[in-house]
Amino acid sequence: MAPATLLKSSFFPKKAEWGAMRLVAAPKPVTVSMVVRASAYADELVQTAKTIASPGRGILATDETNGTCGKKLASIGLENTEANRLAYRTLLVSAPGLGQYISGVILFEETLYQSTVDGKKITDILAEQGIVPGIKVDKGLAPLAGSNNELWCRGLDGLASREAAYYQAGARFAKWRTVLSIPNGPSELAVKEAACGLARYAAISQDNGLVPIVEPEILLDGEHGIERTFEVALKVWAETFYYMAENNVMLEGILLKPSMVTPGAECEDKATPEQVANYSRKLLHRRVPPAVPGIMFLSGGQSEVEATQNLNAINQTPHPWHVSFSFARALQNTCLKTWGGRPENVKAAHDALLLRAKANSLAQLGKYTSDSEDAEASEGMFVKNYVY
Ligand code: 13P
């Protein structure tokens, strides 16, 4: 047996070392506190998302800011007044039978509170058609300091109280659109900022009863090929889902609004709908958990026909999610031109909108053919510096 002195000096710490030894011998366990966060609206959010993501239906986006709506009105020679904006939005939402193809309409704040000249609330017109009213809640884009001329999306300040008021006014889903530019990067900073902002917004929206549409738009502008768009999209969606998890966002109660994976608008190598579909599907399968109920693609400046053809190609195989559309330009373009601000053209403009809505409804089901499309709908739209 070892002498007592040896035992004492080699095995037992000196009194002054007791604290340090305790730490080594019994490190404090690292605990992960599992806060189970459930919005009071959890069931309703799931139900709303399911209603929007219903077979053969998608979203009509009419949430342009007053500035962007003004540009649309100017293209048909109308002044950018509140009355003209209301006339245009009334035209869009009152197309007879729209609810067969459209499950949700995204409104700008001004329209959410407006009534038609006949005194009918816009939200009531939507309800009669079985269409869920949604609301753009972001406050637009601003230069991202410290980045490569990139942008960030504002609007978190006061968001909870604004959303509570929108819910009272009848809105049941929300939209927050941020953008990423491939020619300008995107930088790590811009991607992280976009993802954090979207995740905070999504959590706040769920707390206030609104299903968040999560939209990191990867802009079409640029000469890059489809591979580069794919690579950037993988990164952007990885970060976005990481921060949504950090913010305890309930995936069953969100909708995604991605860009389709296409080459840049100025790329010489154009992609076929099958190529766009292959890359877009690969992106979704690698990044989106099946708990997400709906993927509602944006059109991003593609022509009306192109956007529909690509959606149809994406839907040639089954998915765990409802894969559909949330188009503004690719639903409105021909309708706006046909209307031209003239009351006598309302019927023709409604027909033009319904034609696109039906084509996209068929594309959601993977059953669309472009045989009867006219040249107008095949024209591309302005892409650069498009602001919502
Ligand atoms: P586009 O379909 O015109 O790209 O619109 C997308 C959008 O975010 C509108 O809400």
DSSP per-residue letters across 74-89: HTTT----HHHHHHHH
Least reliable range by pLDDT among 48-57, 154-163, 242-251, 379-388 = 379-388
Q: How far apart are CA 176 and CA 241, in angstroms?
A: 15
pLDDT at 39: 79
**Residues 155/193, Cβ–Cβ less than 8 Å:** no
Supply the angle between the helices 329-339 and 346-364 in degrees, to the nearest 10. 160
**Residues 301/310, Cβ–Cβ less than 8 Å:** no
pLDDT at 371: 75
Is residue 339 lining ligand 1, measured as CB closer than 6 Å? no
pLDDT at 5: 42
| Ligand 1 atom closest to 175 (CA) | 10
The residue nearest atom 4 of ligand 1, judged by CA position, is: 300
Beta bridge partners of residue 177, listed in sequence order: 215
This prediction's pTM: 0.88
Dihedral (Cα; 262, 144, 108, 261), 10-degree rounding: 10
Is residue 72 lining ligand 1, measured as CB closer than 6 Å? no
Residue 223 among the catalytic residues: no
Whether the pLDDT of residue 27 is over 70: the answer is: no
Distance 182 CA to ligand 1 centre (A): 18
Residue 231 among the catalytic residues: no
Q: What are phi and psi of 281, to 5 degrees?
A: -65, -40
